[in-house]
Amino acid sequence: MRDAAGKVVNYVAVKRDVTREVQLEAQFRQSQKMESFGQLAGGVAHDFNNLLAVIQLQTDLLRDDGQLTPEQLAGVDEIGEAAQRATDLTRQLLIFGRKEIMLPRDLDLNECINNVFKMLRRILGENFELELKLTMHQVFLHADAGMLDQVVMNLVVNARDAMPKGGRLIIETAAVDFDETIRVQSAQGRPGSFVCLSVSDNGCGIPAGNLSRIFEPFFTTKDVGKGTGLGLATVFGIVQQHQGWINVYSEVGRGTTFRLYFPRLARLPLASQKTIFSPLNTLRGGTETILLVEDDHAVRAAISNILSRLGYRLLAVSNAIEALEVWRKRREEIDLVLTDLVMPGGMNGKELRERLLQENPQVKVIYVSGYSADVVDQTFFLEAGVNFISKPFETPKLTQIIRKCLDARP
């Protein structure tokens, strides 16, 4: 402010706190990054599922060979189990990209920990001592196996980072029962029977001022480029989805213990026991003609090989345009169309079926995709095990859905 002579005599300052706006802008930029990453994750997972489908089907063929030694069969079984774990991990990418839903099933917590033990050893490296203390009691729960693996790995990675010079990490399981007093001890706790998963380290610990924030998305005390702040937020979200809760105990300089509680099953149903391989000669085949439409050469070859061994006659093509050409020439022979949903060439599996229905309203079609039935397309009916099977799949599941569809009344 100036006087009549133009001399400055005072100042007026207008201030506005824009902290919230800056925070919202940063969150918006981060959400855009995460959305882009989700799209990328979904696409990568879809491609992985094609690769895993080949591994799974070829593994089934190797098991059925009949000429492998017991040691070779054990190796093939290990490949199959690794493919299943890879499938679970790939599903996490689809969940992250919002292209898959949670698929819980009845599990043995001890078995889940043993399955990822080798991977955890590789994550930790030689400077760390990893100890398992698995209870002898039954620790069965209803959970998504892939999500459970992700929880364990995120906690182990956090523990590793808290021990930059190496240290000791202990993973424990336990069966616990709580009465009403748990409500006083834990804000989220409740009475009942639970399984407890504990991950403990002797690292740097968490300052008391940070304990209340460790599950916040994007909160991290790690150096730039060494952490996203999403690891513990993901763990918290997964535990919440499974109707569980987390207790954290930490002392600076002495270490941290995470205890995760999940509702416990009284027993593991027989249907949830490990699937036993079924040789091809024990599976029900047929002599019908199947038009197979699959753009991935390796997947197409593996499916053709298996179904041919079961007696089916295969007409295999790589896209919908080729399928239409074969259909017009041999439609009277074709009993079933087994088609991928997402294909190159300008026509997908749904559009192919619509074209075929114009010529034969009774045509039977089964769809195959690397995505789940819930998200592939909401505009038409898909039901897993009826007219849809997701990659990767085991041979018995494929043969069952084919036989079920062929035997169904028009």
| 137 and 198 both lie in a single domain | yes
| 124 and 235 both lie in a single domain | yes
Q: Has residue 339 been placed in a domain? A: yes
Average pLDDT of span 161-189:
87
Q: Has residue 90 been placed in a domain? A: no
Residue 53: domain span: 20-82
Look at residue 323 in the predicted model and tell me its pLDDT: 92
Domain boundary among 219, 244, 270: 270
Average of per-residue pLDDT values in the chain: 82
Average pLDDT of span 230-258:
87
Strands 245-251 vs 289-293: parallel, antiparallel or unpaired: unpaired
Cα distance between residue 124 and residue 147, in whole Å: 20
| 116 and 66 both lie in a single domain | no
| 265 and 290 both lie in a single domain | no
The three-class DSSP label of residue 195 is strand
Average pLDDT of span 159-182:
90
Cα distance between residue 298 and residue 294, in whole Å: 9
Q: Choose among 60, 63, 111, 67: nearest CA to 85.
A: 111
Cα distance between residue 3 and residue 166, in whole Å: 70
Cα distance between residue 263 and residue 196, in whole Å: 9
Look at residue 218 in the predicted model and tell me its pLDDT: 60
Rounded to whole angstroms, what are the CA distances from 272 to 140, 148, 263, 324?
Answer: 11, 16, 17, 41
| 143 and 175 both lie in a single domain | yes
Most confident option among 31-35, 80-84, 222-226, 306-310:
306-310
H/E element holding 191?
none
Query: How many domains does the chain divide into?
Result: 3
| 261 and 372 both lie in a single domain | no
Look at residue 374 in the predicted model and tell me its pLDDT: 47
Look at residue 224 in the predicted model and tell me its pLDDT: 45
| 226 and 333 both lie in a single domain | no
Side chain identity at 96, as an amino acid letter?
A: F
Cα distance between residue 381 and residue 327, in whole Å: 23
Q: Has residue 389 been placed in a domain? A: yes
Q: Has residue 159 been placed in a domain? A: yes
Q: Has residue 229 been placed in a domain? A: yes
Side chain identity at 201, as an amino acid letter?
A: D
Most confident option among 140-144, 182-186, 282-286:
140-144
Strands 192-201 vs 255-263: parallel, antiparallel or unpaired: antiparallel
Other C-beta atoms closer than 10 Å to the C-beta of 58 total 19
| 307 and 374 both lie in a single domain | yes
What are the percentages of helix, strand and coil residues in the chain, rounded to 5?
A: 45, 20, 35
| CATH code at position 155 | 3.30.565.10
- The count of residues in the chain is 410
Domain boundary among 242, 270, 298: 270
Name the CA radius of gyration of the chain, rounded: 27
pTM of the model: 0.56
Which residue did the predictor score with more confidence, 203 or 36?
Answer: 203
Long-range pairs for 56-59 at CB < 8 Å and ≥24 separation?
A: 56/80, 56/83, 56/84, 56/87, 56/392, 56/393, 56/394, 57/299, 57/302, 57/303, 57/305, 57/306, 57/392, 57/395, 58/302, 59/83
| 47 and 155 both lie in a single domain | no
Q: Choose among 290, 339, 342: nearest CA to 313.
A: 290
Cα distance between residue 271 and residue 108, in whole Å: 13
| 322 and 186 both lie in a single domain | no
Look at residue 132 in the predicted model and tell me its pLDDT: 93
